[in-house]
């Protein structure tokens, strides 16, 4: 009966890692605001413009959404750890 619990824990760890990684990327994107210099130069050279597409509603800045996702990832990882230790 340990095998299904290990699968559930693996899935929860994968989801928590994904949430934390996406949250960290959004947090960095929200903090920097502008494109990195090398990337901005590349876009200007090819006559592309930076996207103003928002991930979330204007009421929640990307930096805050990133922090929410990082916290959600940490909470899911803690829950997965609790679940796997409880089943042992």
Segment 27-46, tens digit of pLDDT: 888 787 655 555 555 555 55
Do 62 and 54 touch, CB atoms closer than 8 A? yes
User: Average per-residue pLDDT in the chain?
Assistant: 76
- Express as a percent the part of the chain with pLDDT over 70: 64
pLDDT band at 57 (very low <50, low <70, confident <90, very high): confident
Residues ≥6 apart with Cβ < 8 Å to 38: none
Helix axes 2-32, 62-87, angle to 10 degrees: 160
Let me know if 52 is exposed, middle or buried by CB neighbors in 10 A (0-12, 13-18, 19+): exposed
Sign of the Cα pseudo-torsion (68, 74, 78, 80, in order): positive
């Amino acid at each position: 009966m340990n095998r299904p619990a290990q699968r559930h824990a693996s899935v929860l760890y994968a989801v928590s890692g994904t949430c934390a990684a996406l949250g960290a990327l959004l947090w960095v994107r929200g903090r920097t605001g502008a494109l990195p210099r090398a990337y901005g130069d590349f876009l200007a050279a090819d006559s592309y413009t930076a996207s103003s597409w928002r991930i979330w509603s204007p009421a929640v800045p990307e930096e805050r959404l990133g922090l929410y996702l990082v916290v959600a990832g940490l909470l899911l990882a803690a829950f997965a750890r609790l679940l796997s230790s409880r089943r042992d």
